[in-house]
Amino acid sequence: MTVIDVRTDEQALTLTAENRFDAPVERVWQVWADPRKLEKWWGPPGFPATVVDHDLTPGGRITYYMTGPDGAKYHGYMSVLSVEAPHTLQFEDGFADDTGAPDPSMPTNTTTVRVEADGDGTRMTLVTQYASAEDMAKLVGMGMVEGITLALGQVDALVAA
């Protein structure tokens, strides 16, 4: 499994996921840059993602929905804050309604992704920052730790040679 560690830090209000892949940096970066690859791992198993819009540029937006086993659709978005391909990406992540508009009843978070060479492979680290302890508790309570762990576990197959 590619996931080395997933941990929360309630003091810093962060969720950190560390991953290592036996693939070059450019190939790992493509799981973000290619919307068809992003679809194959962003949702945990059983909740495949469909990317509707994919603009991976500063100020751009990625909209998507995950489809649950019962057919229900769960919409979300990423507002891209910064990109330095193929090494860093920062975005605001949030829930959306079925038109893609942000759901103001749900918290957002900011995720910073770092992709860097690590020996003969690549290390990818995601650090998710929450605005408050309440926001973090709500999203962690909804299964975010388990969901991101399972989702990231699907990346290996996408970056294999």
| Mean pLDDT score across all residues of the chain | 95
Whether 1 shows a pLDDT value over 60: the answer reads no
Residues in the chain: 161
Q: 25-70: per-residue pLDDT in tens? A: 999 999 999 999 999 999 999 999 999 999 999 999 999 999 999 9
* Residue predicted with more confidence, 80 or 160: 80
Q: In what order do the strands lie in the sheet with 61-67?
A: 3-9, 14-21, 121-130, 109-118, 88-96, 73-84, 61-67, 49-54
Distances (CA, A) of 64 to 8, 27, 50, 75, 136: 25, 22, 5, 6, 22
Instruction: Give the containing element (helix H, strand E) for 29.
Output: helix 25-33
Q: Which residues of 64-95 are buried (b: 16+ CB within 10 A; e: fewer)?
A: bbbeeeeeeeebbbbbbeebeebeebbbbbbb
Range 13-25 average pLDDT: 97
8 by DSSP, 3-state: which? strand
Q: 104-148: per-residue pLDDT in tens? A: 999 999 999 999 999 999 999 999 999 999 999 999 999 999 999
